[in-house]
């Protein structure tokens, strides 16, 4: 199953791959080179398919838990001052996505979307300290009965050239449902209340819509 954001790119890539194979077959006479180039083209197509895959996830909805918004590796767990929305201290948990991860963003909690904003910006590598403030990004806040307001931020990386955000103010968010997509690598920051009980550790691999990031005490 492939994400809808990838349908157009997959079709265009398929056309290019088929065309490339015909050209290689018609103009490259050296056997080993012809087969190597064909294999390289096919590998490229498989990588595109893998990037836009959208596997089903079994989300166990729980008002007292915040789930990981994306697949990837936990790279930051720290207390920070969040200045865009809250202007106070929060616990930040950041998940980095490699190009091989599923890039669907999912709602970490259920609730009402109270804030949703797009910020144009740079394309620094996703793990750069200033990426969350200077890169292209979107910020979404969900008001949840247990956690209060939870903020998550999609951040573009060096390869990501488009962030898709489905969250709209005053709409309902359902935990685990698709909330966006980041094309070609990036990270997501999750900002939680200081009394949240963090359930992950640095370098831990997590799955969007399934892995528990935190519970409310």
Question: How many angstroms separate the CA atoms of 214 and 68, rounded?
Answer: 9
Report the phi/psi class of residue 176: left, alpha or beta, with left for phi > 0 and alpha for psi in -120 to 50: left
Active-site residue (options: 94, 110, 132, 186): 186
- Annotation marks residue 29 as catalytic: no
- Residues 6 or more apart in contact with residue 1 via CB below 8 angstroms: 53, 54, 55, 56
Please report, for residues 118, 120, 177, the alpha-carbon distance to residue 148 in angstroms, rounded to integers and kept in the order given: 22, 28, 19
∠ CA 140-156-86, nearest 5°, is 30
For residue 57, which of 174, 197, 141, 147 has the smallest C-alpha distance?
Answer: 174
Catalytic positions, written as ranges: 186
């Amino acid at each position: 199953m492939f994400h809808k954001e990838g349908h157009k790119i997959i079709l265009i890539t398929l056309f290019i791959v088929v065309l490339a194979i015909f050209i290689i077959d018609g103009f490259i006479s050296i056997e080993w080179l012809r087969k190597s180039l064909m294999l390289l083209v096919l590998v490229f197509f498989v990588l595109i398919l893998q990037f836009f895959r959208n596997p089903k996830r079994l989300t166990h909805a729980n008002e007292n838990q915040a789930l990981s918004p994306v697949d990837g590796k936990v790279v930051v767990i720290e207390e920070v001052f969040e200045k865009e929305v809250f202007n106070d201290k929060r616990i930040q948990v950041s998940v980095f996505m490699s190009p091989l991860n599923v890039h669907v963003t999912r709602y970490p909690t259920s609730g009402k979307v109270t804030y949703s904003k797009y910020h144009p910006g740079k394309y620094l590598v996703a793990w750069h300290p200033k990426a969350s403030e200077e890169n292209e990004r979107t910020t979404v806040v969900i008001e949840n009965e247990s956690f209060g307001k939870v903020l998550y931020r999609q951040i573009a990386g060096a390869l990501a050239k488009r962030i898709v955000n489905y969250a709209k103010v005053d709409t309902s968010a359902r935990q685990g449902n698709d909330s966006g997509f980041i094309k070609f690598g990036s990270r997501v920051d999750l900002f939680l209340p200081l009394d949240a009980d963090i359930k992950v550790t640095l370098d831990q691999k997590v799955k969007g819509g399934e892995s528990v990031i935190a519970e409310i005490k």
